[in-house]
A and B are shown apart, each in its own frame.
Chain A
Amino acid sequence: MARIVVDPVTRIEGHLRIDVEVNGGTVQKSWASGQMWRGIEIILQGRDPRDAWLFTQRFCGVCTTVHAITSVRAVENALGLEIPMNAQYIRNMILIAHAMHDHIVHFYHLSALDWVDITSALQADPVATSRLAESLSPWPYNSVQSMRATKAKLESIVASGQLGIFANGYWGHPAMKLPPEVNLLAVNHYLQALDYQRKANQIVTILGSKTPNIQNLAVGGVVNAINLDNQATLNMTKLYQIKDLLDEVLAFVQQVYIPDILAIGSLYPEWLGYGAGVKNYLAVPDLPLDTAGTQFDLMGGTIMNGDVSTVKPISRFGDEYFRDNVEESIAHSWYDGSDSRHPYDGETVPNYTDFQDDGKYSWVKSPRFAGEPMQVGPLAQILVGYAQGHELTVKWVDTALSELSSRTGVNVGVGHVQSTLGRHAARALRCAIIGDLALKHWGLLVENIGSGDTDIFNAPVFPRGEQRGFGFHEAPRGALSHWVVIENGKIKNYQAVVPTTWNASPRDAGGQIGPYEASLLGNPVADAERPLEVLRTVHSFDPCLACAIHTLDVDGNEIAKVRAL
């Protein structure tokens, strides 16, 4: 029995730590541990609820807009405050553009190199690579010259003796299986993706005034003044700039991201069999279509035990089924006590004990839904939508399943999507779905403004006494909720239950393991010193845990520690 610890010490405090016990080349036992405590909620106590979003968007430098919008939704829910349609559409477009940026970065820049071997790409024939690319997609930028340029760039990086951004990959690992041409194609698209993630982010900048931290929100709506004839406000020029950027990013998703996922996925069919883990799924509805949040363009709900027929909808802001079933256990987390609490009553009192396999071993709490661990993220959202017949989801999922089936010769069904590779595919499909919806919401916004409605804000009123509310958002990493208790116009309690907490949760009071932990069981590990397969499954969730600090380390202490004990 060998124990492998993946313990990145990339910043001053630790991040996510994964421990696995391997026997006979397969993971037998696993632990996921958050190595940094979250005391964020305490900072908010006593503050003005109208300012909460300015603080929550600093929770995490990657998920800024996500925490900002969820926070204003929570306060609006507590006050029973509806917001104007223009504000909904503007927020929706920001959320989508941010998510498209995030999904593209996650696949190409943070996880593709788990599957793509840079060094093998050096053996590729640029002509054959271009021909292969043109057989997969009508994308116009797959020319021989482009592939040749990418190969030359790689050659010069390797010749310099320094792999630059590509240092520290598991090159030549036995689990890398793509032919050289697919590797070169993927590296070429890695470079192209850099441009398109920026374009997506430019949309956030136009609507949010600034990134990474947007400026245009308010409890009650947005502050984007609308006047189609005024240079300084949201006008037709800016709206068409957004539309052009959206068209470009969506074309990239449809003609590059999805074909790449299908091409790479069909060459790793065994990974449709690993990594399912917890098969309970939770997604919240998003992209509201009315002022109160009762109609949505993305569906929410739960699925238990991987059985789509168990789907139960979560259908509106303030939904009781969601509100009444969320609890967080601290039985195995470094907090005082071992109870489970509803987020309105949540506490954050640290009690560090060191890493105890059978005791407390993580700063992450264990959220549970009706007592069950739940997987959240694009896969959960896709399955919940599919189970309820969401038209766009059904269209994209069925197309992808039939494509994968014809390429692998295996009848790939919804069961296979519940896997490491399935999570990547679901993220790509979600990216295409929300891209279509961004165009729809752009059209709705233009139409609404055209009808003469320029309202953007309803002023909040804080009555004496106590109000409780929660807001949710189907974020790039899954269901995010903020819970606020307001007393006499001040924040009394604030808790954020973030997607990675659901997925990276440690064991609960009943000993049930969390989704990361469950997904690693049965994973192969060919080389304990280079646990590429462990990273493949953990990366497939798109972990976002550290969320906080940015101390620069010029002296080179930034290494991910991988220890095989």
Chain B
Amino acid sequence: MPAVTVFGLGNILMADDGLGPYVIKVLEAAYVFPPEVEILDAGTPGMELSTILEDSGALIIVDTVRSDGSSGELRTYRRDDVLKHPPAQRITPHDPGLKETLLVLELQGETPPEVYVIGVIPERVDYGVGLTDVVRAAVPGAVAEIIAELERLGYPAEARVPPADPDIWWERQPKA
């Protein structure tokens, strides 16, 4: 069981919504993590998220976030912020998201000890591959937040020497 799971949420086919998976690829390329830390591109899971979270200790989550402010701005939250408002009426299997998963874990007595969400306000969430410039510019800030949180939790990452190229396979243009 990992002591910390860092996971990126979001859809790589929906422009800025792909921020979470993008940040994960950048982390993997630029850092080496202690064995207790798991790094995961989780996509856009529904209840499957509980499978990922049940076996973890602390959680660090990177995602796009709807909030007042300008595109590209960073927002951070702790567990109680995420759970402040009740969950929505269920209509489709996508409706259980992070909030619902945390509530389900709580019901089972498996609440993760720490939850830290790093969010970036998106500019464009629509079909298409690739982040907008303003959200891409926010990536280093999001990465720095994750690295700082890992250090705070006692599982610091080390810079990879030399750094690798991030494997953003979905942004590679098809060859002509």
A residues in contact (CB < 8 Å) with B: 6, 8, 10-13, 15-16, 37-40, 42-43, 46-48, 51, 54-55, 58-62, 64, 101-102, 105-106, 109-111, 113, 153, 157, 162-165, 167-168, 191, 194, 197-198, 201-202, 205, 210-213, 490, 535, 538-539, 542-560, 562
Contact = CB atoms under 8 A, between A and B. Distances in A.
B45 A164 contact: no
A227 B39 CA distance: 28
B15 to A, nearest CB: 10
Contacts of B96: 109-110
A177 B140 CA distance: 55
Contact of B125 (A64, A157, A549): A549
B92 A545 contact: yes
Which 4 pairs of residues, A with B, have the shortest CB-CB distance?
A61-B44, A556-B85, A39-B127, A560-B89
Interface in B45-75: 45-48, 50-52, 54, 63-68, 75
Contact of A39 (B10, B77, B128, B169): B128
B145 to A, nearest CB: 15
B14 interface: yes
Contact of B54 (A198, A205, A549, A555): A198
Given A548-B44, A551-B66, A554-B81, A162 B86 contact: yes
Contacts of B97: 550, 552
B91 A10 contact: yes
A538 B48 contact: no
Nearest to A48: B174
A64 B9 CA distance: 14
Most buried by A among B65, B90, B107: B90
Contacts of A16: 91-92
Nearest to A164: B103
A211 B54 CA distance: 14
B93 A62 contact: yes
A551 B89 contact: no
Given A201-B48, A202-B51, A552-B64, 8 more contacts: A39-B127, A62-B48, A165-B107, A550-B97, A552-B63, A552-B65, A554-B67, A558-B85
A54 B127 contact: no
Contacts of B13: 40, 43, 55, 58-59, 548
- Tell me which of B20, B50, B92, B129 has the highest count of chain A C-beta atoms within 10 A of its own C-beta: B92
A544 B92 CA distance: 6
A12 B125 contact: yes
Given A16-B91, A105-B93, A548-B44, A165 B100 contact: yes
Nearest to A37: B127
Nearest to B63: A552
A544 B94 CA distance: 7
A6 B91 contact: yes
A330 B99 CA distance: 36
A553 B65 contact: yes
Contacts of B4: none
10 contacts: A37-B127, A54-B169, A55-B170, A61-B46, A153-B107, A167-B86, A548-B17, A549-B14, A550-B63, A560-B91
Contacts of B108: 191, 194
B66 A12 contact: yes
A551 B48 contact: no
A490 B104 CA distance: 44
Contacts of A58: 11-13, 43-44, 170
A168 B89 contact: yes
Contact of B82 (A167, A194, A547, A554): A554
B3 interface: no
A15 B92 contact: yes
A102, A205, A543, A550: most-surrounded residue (chain B CB, <10 A): A550
Nearest to A98: B48
Nearest to A47: B174
Interface in B1-47: 9-14, 17, 20, 40-47
B47 A197 contact: yes
A12 B94 CA distance: 13
Contacts of B66: 12, 551-555, 557
Contacts of A490: 174
Identify the interface centre among B10, B67, B127: most chain A CB within 10 Å of its CB: B127
B151 interface: no
A15 B51 contact: no
A105 B86 contact: no
A40 B13 CA distance: 7
Nearest to A167: B86
A554 B77 contact: yes
A555 B87 CA distance: 11
B51 A552 contact: no
A519 B86 CA distance: 30
A100 to B, nearest CB: 13
B88 A10 contact: yes
A61 B101 CA distance: 14
B98 A552 contact: yes
A425 to B, nearest CB: 19
Interface string B111-147: 0000001010010011111000000000000000000
A39 B82 CA distance: 31
A544 B93 contact: yes
Contacts of A210: 40
Contacts of B87: 165, 167-168, 558
